[in-house]
Amino acid sequence: MKNVAYKITKITEDLNRLLLSKNEKYGNSALQPLNVFSSLSAIEGLCARIDDKLARIRNSGFNDDTEDTLFDLCGYFILLIIALKDEQDKRTVHGDTTSWT
């Protein structure tokens, strides 16, 4: 059996490739939404996507059909961290030093 450090590295490398591939395919729409049909901010949109993925797991359980959902969730959480940090940076530039961490 391979050690945990190797498994963590492998999974995070797979996730990195997935995120970069989706960013290339869809552009930066998660962090800079087009807002054609919705006026959600990046943070609100990511939270909605996370809710949808969690609902899928709740309704279907953990199985082969939801393995991709787990990767999507990890990706959305990473994008949410980026969006929150971007929002914090904007507030800092405008004089509000309130931190979310």
How many structural domains comprise the chain?
Answer: 1
pLDDT for position 96: 67
Contact 83/31 with Cβ under 8 angstroms? yes
pLDDT at 91: 83
Residue 65, SS3 per DSSP: helix
The answer to whether position 100 is within a domain reads: no
Quote the distance between the C-alpha of residue 60 and its chain's center: 21
Q: Give the structural domain span for 62.
A: 4-93
Residue 99 lies in a domain: no
CA distance 87 to 91: 6
- In a domain, residue 101? The reply is no
**Tens digit of each residue's pLDDT, the chain (101 residues):** 579 999 999 999 999 999 999 999 998 989 999 889 999 999 999 999 999 999 999 999 999 888 899 999 999 999 999 999 999 998 887 776 666 55
- Whether residue 46 is contained in a domain is answered as yes
Q: What is the pTM of this model?
A: 0.83
The pLDDT, as a whole number, for residue 90 is 86
In a domain, 35, yes or no: yes
